[in-house]
Structure 1
Amino acid sequence: MTDADRTVLLAMDFQNGIAGDEAFAATGVLERARDAVATAREHDIPVVWVRVALREGQPELAATASFARIAAHGDVDETHASTSIHETLGRRQGEPIVTKRRISAFTGSDLDVLLRGYGASSLIVAGVATSGVVLSTVRQAADLDFELTVLSDACADRDEEVHRVLTEKVFPKQATVLSVDEWAAGL
């Protein structure tokens, strides 16, 4: 694989204040995401962590009611422990953390610059929630011409039916949708 064909794993919103919620913990998504991260490392696929965090005083919330509801689920101050990557996933020193200010991993972050630095053309996507960061990021990444794979069992949503519809009907229009095991077997 040349640098221009590089694949990167995006592990999105696996932070204490979101993925640590018992609704997500019960799905097994943290363990499946941990397996995806381990597989990526075994195959020299860079892991990029994405978190949502706001500045002190949350000035980013000014005009976005939907994002304000998301921020209300927990403390998203960028210095608060709730915005740290969940320990189950075992983030390693040197793996970059991208801080976003909106739902998509691209909006209000330097993700695009980082991916260009990696020479990425292909993204493997895992995250919570499926109807939030995963949906928004997949749609934007497709518009940016990335080849996409969504790891269906390394994503979760508070609404299982929404997760099912997105992974079975919506994402396949722009991405390959695989389980972590199916993806790993194909490497």
Structure 2
Amino acid sequence: MASHTFTSKSLAGTQVRSTPSLAPARRPSRSVTVAGVSKKVNTLDENWAKGFFGYGYFVEDSEVDAPNYLRTAERKKVLSNIESLGLLSAAEKAGLSLSKLESLKLFSTAERLGLLSALERLLVSDPAAISSIALPLFVASLGSFILIPDTNVAFAIAKYSIAAVLGGSAVLFFALGFLLAAVQEE
């Protein structure tokens, strides 16, 4: 096995040479900045093998803090806009209030079914990944519209229904990605 020599500069400007040992790899190391603005994480990829494509033996990435949605909503004046549109008063006139939702046990049911944790995972996920789900749905919608013949009424209903559901889902995921990007923006 060939020995590799690593060279790095020290603070005094002199070069330090070191030869790595053949000891077993250690756990991934983490270095985090003190200010908390940007956290840099250096990890050791134990499954790395030299090849044409690859990042390197050490992977450097950055951790981002979870976005503060309340601060973002306050900065964008979401509640003021909801109030100015009259949505809260319209919901109250329709008989929809927080106490009504609580008496129906809607929140506890959503928590028991795992919907609130799914919503939390959605809010911290990548908006581009959410929007990219729209492309295969759109292609499937076009494919169903083109490939399903409309020779009789049943096939025509199936063709338009499947195309509408897939196309609507594509639009929903595309818009959800942009909405999520706007919410995560700081």
Fold shared, TM-score > 0.5 on shorter chain: no
Compare CA radii of gyration and give the structure with the larger one: 2
Higher relative contact order (CA 8 A, sep 6+): 1
Please tell me the TM-score bracket, short chain as reference: under 0.3
Using structure 2 for the length normalisation, give the TM-score: 0.21
